[in-house]
Structure 1
Amino acid sequence: MLSLPSIVLVCLLRGVNIGGSKPMKMATLSQLFTKLGFLNVKTYIQSGNVVFSRPESHAIPMSDLMKHIQENIDDEFGYSNLPLSIRTFEEIQSIVTGNPYLNRKGVDPKRLHVTFLASPMASSTIEAFPSELKADLDELITLKDTYSVTTSRREVYLHTPNGYARTKVENNAIEKALGIAATTRNWNTCNKLYEMMKL
């Protein structure tokens, strides 16, 4: 029997299981995705990362998938509009291989993060970031946070030499500047999810 074609995706939840906020068991989350008709469901660590496959025959079209998953997570866990982002395998592959900081001298991969936006920023909204957060990627890396926006305008690469805990370019600041829900993953998690999506 031939298996149905499927699309490999990852769902990235915002702000779960952090300091006791928005508790969520990954086993329950995984079961929910399976109940919704998705295949090969796998979670990674406790911060709300779900790798799964959507059969092309799935009742919910790709354009409505994020809203559909969000509504069901809200119903299951009792939240309201829990922010999340969804990316395809091809999009994650492009993000992992296209990081402009990877080949820059003096950059520690442990200080790299990617912020995922729920929708693309408008081409002009980069100006909404506070001026102290702006940086020219052609400048030498200093002990100052810098960022780079992907061509899709749906992700922001972050380099935080002093650690993400001290950065001003964190989720709340980005959401305030852009008016778009954001969730951030460290570089190790991005690579781990990429490897999981290959299987």
Structure 2
Amino acid sequence: MSRSRAEMIEATRAKLLATARQAFQRAGYAATSMDDLTASAGLTRGALYHHFGDKKGLLAAVVEQIDDEVDQRLNAVSAQAAAPWDAFRGRCQAYLRMATEPEIRRIVLQDARAVLGPTSDAAQQQCVASLAGLLQDLMTARIVDNADPQALARLVNGSLTDSAFWIADAPDDAPRLEHALQALDLLLRGLLRR
């Protein structure tokens, strides 16, 4: 049975994304040659330009794919927690730990930041909305002191994001990760209702 045109288009796009993820993680964005990348994928440069516009568009698509996976992983952390506070705290800790993973570190926290600039507004809004929802639930359950959930979510998100960049920029991430996790616990304890 032959594949439909839509299936072939999606297969080409998926192959380019998978090949780019490997190349960007291994060599970094700047050192990745589009000719080598498309040859590794068994495709033409025209296919890359058709699907992503250019190398920068390909990086943006890879980052979007990784961001979606990170979000799914964070949702799984929340879902597996025994209590709402554990879900929130565990999610924040997991995000910082992800900053040490080679793919996230190199592609999302280093190369994307340098090439694409600040995180897109849509991605930031999604993170803030998710945190605001969790914080609102914690306030409703009287676990966290009342505050504007959007403002609080922006403060927590900003702290986590900046800490993740700080961790990813270290040549040896272990000390920075441990310091950030300790500081995070101190910061989050300040949210708890007394």
TM-score by length of 1: 0.26
If you compute each CA radius of gyration, which structure gives the higher value, 1 or 2?
2
- Per residue, is there more strand in 1 or in 2? 1
- Per residue, is there more helix in 1 or in 2? 2
TM-score by length of 2: 0.27
